Each structure stands twice: as structure tokens, then as C-alpha cells.
Amino acid sequence: MKDPPVEADPGEAKRFRIGGMDCAACAATVQKVVSNLDGVETANVTIGNASMVVEGAVTVETIQTAVRRAGYTAQPANEPRGQLVPFWRRNPRSFSTSLAIALLIAAVATSLSSLPSLVSEGLFLITMITGGWAIARSAFAAIRQRTLDMNVLMALASIGAVAIGDYAEAAWVVVLFAVGNALEDIALERSRRSVESLRELAPASAQVVVGSTEVLTPVEEIKVGSLIVIRPGERLPLDGLVVEGNSSVDESTLTGESIPVDMRPGGEVFAGTLNLSGSFTMRTTSGAENSTIAQVTRLVSEAQGSRAPSERFVDRFAKIYTPIVLLVALAVAVVPVLAGGSFDTWSYRALALLIVACPCALVISVPASVVAAIGGAAKIGVLIKGGQVLEDLASVKAVALDKTGTLTRARPVVVSVFTFDRASDTEALGLMAAIEKGSEHPLGQALVRAAVDADSPIPLGSDFEAVPGKGATATIGGRDLWAGGPRMAGERGVHLPPTFEAVQGRGQTAVILGEGDRVLAIFGLADEPRKEAASAVDALRRRLGIDEVVMLTGDSELGRSRGLRYDRDHVLGGRASCPARNWT
């Protein structure tokens, strides 16, 4: 008994990843094929991110079959991509291109040997068939949809070459065109993969609290409101709120800030960030598809799929240009022959015109460059919202630069030391390094580096304990010492001296070294400017003519007016402003 047919759901848009597309004409063919299916209301195919969105009462299987008949593949977007494999194993079209290259080499070698010409001609013909079957299939699909594209031009050129007996020419045309398509496909795929790699920042599973036990659960199955246990060194799988425990979370993957954020119950945490120390339990506030890192990935993916004005112009141009090329080539092949010219000579010239005038490189150049630019920028943490924005960069008159991680190294260094109770700077640095040398906190590592650079003797310590979200304690030379911030000091009943506020007022992060209820030293740490920042800003002004360069920072007003003077004068120059805002 046959299974009943699967009914289509007209309510939700169906999203696919399309394989085998390497130019705008391919996207147009797929879009037209799917649009003509019964039940399809709209179909939108984008070459930039190789995606298709279909609305209407049509099944996934029907769409996949139609796309496959057109010479391409359609995979539901919610299915995993799998690993990036060599292009010759990616799909049948890539494999046939690789095989055609090997056959062409053999055919050329045979033609240069003493073997009969029939052998080399046969190899050239087999090469053309092997490398050209996908081209012919796409050309046939385009003709059925009453459109002309590059595949049609190449198919006609290769068939014409065979008709006049130039088997080698036909093989070379097909292989070179197939290799060009393969290289374009590789470039586009790598850019798309760079965006997909953003999702890998969040783990695929997490420890969910079920009753009194923990169950390892795929992230896609975790519901909003679930409790998840996060341990030191783990990345957060979803957005949520801390309900129990204290820790420090590195949010640099999302914010670029080098200083970890201390977390306590009620603190907000985000998917893709790294838990540095301490364990805590969080309650999820988003699903896998709505987490912060998923939204960033979706924004970049949509940006890749957006069409720049020049891309839209080139597409319109190609629709007119391709038929004109075909008509001109036909005229070159027919008119001179009617006037008494040689059929072989003018047919050959017409075929050459088809090949040389093929607009494939022109049509693919704009979307390929847009995808490569947006994908490459996303890989280094820059979000460009589409081709339109990318082109608008050419007319920019003012530039706003983020401070942390852009103008600065996002690596804190010790810039000031204040000692009390007759302790020397060298002794204070050594004691602080003795406490922090076992810490993974960026501030602790910066203090250890400062002690080493200053040749401060670092005594041996014992009983080291990291206090998540507060600091650390250790016993040094029989003394019970602690290092941390205001929370650690407050728990020990310490009255902070005015120096602490002064250090904070300079835009620095203040770290306290204490013993019992006494403050032994206060260290000011700050993010140092990049060496190349000043020259980069100068290049913006001198080479691009941008006069207004602004630094965006979340530092306080007092820190902006005092501590940021070094940044403003030595990086941006005195004419730039430094608004004190939190930019997200």
C-alpha cells in the first residue's frame, strides 16, 4: 500500500541552500524553475549566500526534484552542512571537472605522440562530454525556461567546434569554462563558510538540569527557561541569566572588550562567550535560532545575500547583452557565407566571438567581490550590512572608530602603581604576581607580565584560591594576601583610599593588593593603543580625505577628559572627539 502524499505547509517560508550555482544566470534559472511550480507564490534565489526562500503550498521534495532537474541541488537550510571537502568531491559537477582536466592532459599528450590522430580526437571528444554534461544540462534547463545564459553560449560554441571538426578546441573551451566555474564556486563557498563558522562559537550541546541530575542535550532541543550548568573553560551555548554561582566571562567574541565581565546571580550572559573561572547555573532566555550569536550570523548571511546597485545593473545588462551576443555571432556565421565566404572560416570566427564575448566573468565579478568582502570582514569581526553599504563606503566623509580592540590592543597593561604601608613598587608587583601567577584572568596575567618586565622578585606562594567574580587569595611568606576589586575589599571591611577613585577616574581599571583589612597597593591597568593606530587614522585623513575621525568609548566622562587624553592626542589627534557612550 502506497504512503499518502505529504501535504505542503503554505504557512511557513521554506529556506534552502542551493549547490552548483556559480553565476547570476544560474540563480535566475533556479528561481524561474521553482517559480513555475504549482503552488509556489514567490521564490527568491540569491547567488551571494547560495540560498533560496520559497513561499507557497509546495513540498520540499517537489522543490528539490525541480532544482535537481535543472542541474543544481537544494538542501533545507536547517540541515547541517557537514565539513568543507575538496571541490572535486563536493558534487558530481566538481568531480566531472576534475576528471575532464585529467582527460584533457591525456588527450594533449596523445596528440603530441606518434599515435594515430583518431586516438587523440576520441580523447578530446570524451573530455568535452565529461566536462560539458553539466553545462549542457544547465543550458537545456535555461532554454526550457526561455532564457539565454552563459551555459547556452558555451554549449553552442562547443557543439559548433565539434561540427567543424575542431575537437581540441571544443575540449579546451569546455574544460576552461568548467574550471572557471569551479574556481568561482570555491571562492563563494569559502566566503559563505566563513560566516557559518560564526555559529561554531557556541557549543552544540549543554548540560541541562533535569530534576537533580544533569543531562547532555543538543542545543536545538533546549527550551527557553531551562537551567544549564556552565563550568570553567566552557563556551555558553545560549543567552540567559545567571541564577546561581559567580564567575568571570570573556565577552570579547561579541563586544571586543578585553576585560572579562564579573558575573553574579541576575547577570546577563550571551551565547558564544567564554566562562573563565567558577561554575554557575544559568536560565536560558533564548532558543538556538534566536541567540545573540545566531542573530549576528543571520545578519551577516543576509548581508551577503543583499544585492549591491552595481550588481543589479550588471544583471540587467547581462539579460540584454547575452541575446545580442548570440545574434551577432549568428550574423557573423551566416552573412559572410551568403556573400561567398568560407563556411569553416566564418563559423570558427562566430564560435570565437561566442567564447570571447561571454559575459560570465562580468556577471560573477560583482556578487563574488561583494560576498568575498562581506565574508572576509565577518571573519575578522567586522559586520557589513549588505552590498549597498559596501558601495556606500566610497562616499564616507566621517569615520567613528571603536576604542577597545580597534584603536587599542585589547590587552591590558599596568600603567600606574600606588603603594601604601611603606611597600616599594617592586615588592608590591612581586607579591601581586605571586598571587596572580596561577590565574587565567587577563588582568592577573597583565600584573604577572609587569612584574617579570620590572625584574621584581616573585616569591613562592601556597593555598591559591580564585574567587570567581571577585579576585584571588594566597598565602605568601606566611602572609594571607588577597587581590581583587571593590567587592573583595568590601567583604574584608576595607575603607578604600581616595587613590582608588583617582585611578578609576583616569579611565584605568583599579586592582587592589591587600592583607586583612589593609590596602598594600593599588594598580592601574589600561588598554594600550596599537602601534599602527595613529598611522591608520592618519591614512584615513591624508589618503581618503576624511577629516572627521571620532572615537567611541564606554569610559566615564571623567575618564574621557583625563585618562583618554593619551588616546585622543596620540591616536586620533586633537581635532577628534571622544563621546562617552556605550555603543552596541
Q: What is the pLDDT of residues 402-421, one digit of tens each?
A: 777 778 777 788 888 898 87
> Going by C-beta distance under 8 Å and a sequence separation of 6 or more, which residues neighbour residue 373?
384, 390
User: Which SS3 state, helix, strand or coil, does residue 81 take?
Assistant: coil
Q: What is the CATH number of the domain that holds 232?
A: 2.70.150.10
pLDDT in tens, 91-104: 566 778 888 889 99
φ, ψ for residue 263 (rounded to 5)? Answer: -115, 135
Residue 240 inside a domain? The answer is: yes
Confidence of residue 564 (pLDDT cuts 50, 70, 90): very low
Final residue of a structural domain among 261, 290, 319: 290
- As a residue count, the chain comes to 584
So what's the pLDDT on residue 239? 92
Residue 546 inside a domain? The answer is: yes
DSSP 278-298: S-EEEEE-S-TTTSHHHHHHH
Angle CA 81–40–195, to nearest 5: 25
Q: Is 402 a catalytic residue?
A: yes
φ, ψ for residue 357 (rounded to 5)? Answer: -85, 0
Considering the domain architecture, whether residues 437 and 558 belong to the same structural domain is answered as: yes
| Mean per-residue pLDDT over the chain, rounded | 77
Residue 235 inside a domain? The answer is: yes
Residue 348 inside a domain? The answer is: no
How many Å apart are CA 132 and CA 177, to the nearest integer? 9
Confidence of residue 2 (pLDDT cuts 50, 70, 90): very low
User: Which SS3 state, helix, strand or coil, does residue 366 take?
Assistant: helix
Name the nearest CA neighbour of 268 among 284, 287, 288: 284
Considering the domain architecture, whether residues 453 and 571 belong to the same structural domain is answered as: yes
Give the pLDDT mean for 141-161: 75
**Amino acid at residue number 317:** F
How many Å apart are CA 512 and CA 514, to the nearest integer? 6
So what's the pLDDT on residue 533? 83
pLDDT in tens, 12-44: 678 888 877 766 667 778 888 899 898 898 888
pLDDT in tens, 300-349: 666 555 555 666 666 677 677 778 878 888 898 889 988 888 887 888 78
Considering the domain architecture, whether residues 258 and 400 belong to the same structural domain is answered as: no
Angle CA 536–542–544, to nearest 5: 85
How many Å apart are CA 176 and CA 170, to the nearest integer? 10
Name the nearest CA neighbour of 508 among 521, 524, 497, 522: 524
Final residue of a structural domain among 290, 306, 331: 290
End-to-end CA separation in angstroms for the chain: 59
Residue 527 inside a domain? The answer is: yes
pLDDT in tens, 101-120: 899 999 999 988 888 888 88
Q: What is the CATH number of the domain that holds 456?
A: 3.40.1110.10
How many Å apart are CA 489 and CA 491, to the nearest integer? 6
The tally of CA atoms less than 13 A away on the side-chain side of residue 284 is: 27
Give the pLDDT mean for 476-482: 87
Considering the domain architecture, whether residues 279 and 418 belong to the same structural domain is answered as: no
Q: Which DSSP letter does residue 12 get?
A: S
In 8-29, which positions are buried (b, 16+ CB within 10 angstroms) versus exposed (e)?
beeeeebebbbbbbbbbbbbbb
Final residue of a structural domain among 270, 290, 310: 290
Point out the catalytic residue in the list 402, 425, 453, 517: 402
Considering the domain architecture, whether residues 278 and 405 belong to the same structural domain is answered as: no
Q: Which helix (H) or strand (E) holds 248?
A: strand 247-250
Asked if 252 and 190 touch (Cβ cutoff 8 Å), the reply is no
Asked if 154 and 357 touch (Cβ cutoff 8 Å), the reply is no
So what's the pLDDT on residue 454? 86
Confidence of residue 199 (pLDDT cuts 50, 70, 90): low
How many Å apart are CA 506 and CA 493, to the nearest integer? 25
Domain count, the chain: 2
Name the nearest CA neighbour of 110 among 92, 91, 123: 123
Q: How far is CA 254 from CA 57, 129, 186, 283, 289, in A?
A: 39, 50, 28, 20, 17
**Amino acid at residue number 574:** G
Asked if 520 and 423 touch (Cβ cutoff 8 Å), the reply is yes
Confidence of residue 281 (pLDDT cuts 50, 70, 90): very high
How many Å apart are CA 329 and CA 154, to the nearest integer? 12
Residue 175 inside a domain? The answer is: no
How many Å apart are CA 366 and CA 312, to the nearest integer? 9
Considering the domain architecture, whether residues 281 and 401 belong to the same structural domain is answered as: no
Residue 347 inside a domain? The answer is: no
How many Å apart are CA 521 and CA 47, to the nearest integer? 60
Q: The cell 578609576 sits on which residue?
A: 504
Residue 145 inside a domain? The answer is: no
Distance from CA of residue 351 to its chain's centroid?
A: 42
Work out the number of other CB atoms within 10 angstroms of the CB of residue 327. Answer: 10
Considering the domain architecture, whether residues 283 and 403 belong to the same structural domain is answered as: no
The residue segments making up the domain with residue 518 are 396-584
